[in-house]
Amino acid sequence: MNCSTLRSFEDVIIIYAVMRVSVAARWIVKITCEVTKIGLLFAGFLLAIPALPQAHEFWIEPSSFQPKTNQILTADLLIGTDYLGSSGIYVPDQIEAFAFLRPKAAGPAGNHSDDQIERQEISGRYGDRPAGKFNSGAAGLGIILHQTAPIRMVYSSTTKFDDFAREKGFDQAFEQHQRLGLALDKITERYQRFAKSLINVGEPVTAGAGIDRHLGLAIELVAEKNPYQLPPLETMPIRLYASGKPLANAQITVFTRHNPRDVEVAKYRTDQAGRAHFAVLAGRDYLVDSVILRPLPEADVGDAMWESLWASLTFQIPAKK
């Protein structure tokens, strides 16, 4: 093989190598573009997350509604719709209250009154999911409480604000917004959540034993009968409070869940005493939701134009034995 032949062979090798590199480069560019598209889609999803709380219910989901005494439980904070949601993480800066109110252990006489309540603060590390963990303690009706810090948001369109307001029973909110002469391009809102969940520690109880209580939240749903009593309830009376007083003519939405994919939704209006009654079925989970939506005074418009306060209450009706 002479030098000329060798150089020609080397040229062929070089050309072949360049072609392979070129093909590989095109594949790398294609893969990079696809990854970039996926990344942008995922980023868009993440950017959408802060808007979820405004359009969706927020509730507490305990790991058990009917635990044993002194059992370690978790409290999941969920955001979603139709009683189906995504689990939120523990974020200290977004929490104003997170606690479990439970009966104190029975005294020497073997009983305790409803006034003998102790408060167990629920805390965790940033990012914990489920967000809370606590001890169920002594037998009786316990209340899990969660209150978020106020959060500010901006609606991307007037249609979204109007749709939300109508869904929550405020059909005239957008017309009121226009009458007040408020800006239409960026409707701002400040919202806050007040969630409760009722659990029964120990065995189901007889009628009248243990009851939910008004905790003095800005907006609050209170069950006026123990949902865990036996025989199971057929009707649940709920009372809605705002600023410590019963709230009349307010919409209450009730979600009834038989299994994760079998949910029924019904809406009610409170009477002049702030009460609503609805039928309940044994072996079902319940989420009750109500919202106050109101324009803020002019002094607060710099922060937000509207304020919404959200109340939720979850409980379970025991299955028949």
- pLDDT tens-digit readout, 12-30: 334 444 445 454 445 444 4
The per-residue pLDDT for 209 is 61
Q: Exposure of 267 by Cβ count < 10 A (0-12 exposed, 13-18 middle, 19+ buried)? A: middle
Q: CB-hemisphere CA count at 13 Å for 217?
A: 28
CA distances from 248 to 220, 245, 269, 273, 290 (A): 13, 9, 8, 6, 12
The per-residue pLDDT for 256 is 97
Query: Band of the pLDDT at 248, cuts 50, 70, 90?
Result: very high
Average pLDDT over residues 94-120: 73
Identify the CA nearest to 95 among candidates 32, 27, 144. 144
pLDDT tens-digit map of 150-182: 999 999 999 999 999 999 999 999 999 999 999
pLDDT tens-digit map of 300-311: 656 899 999 999
Stated pTM of the model? 0.80
- Enumerate the domain spans of the chain: 1-54, 56-316
The per-residue pLDDT for 260 is 72
Q: Is the dihedral of CA 86, 87, 91, 94 positive or negative?
A: positive
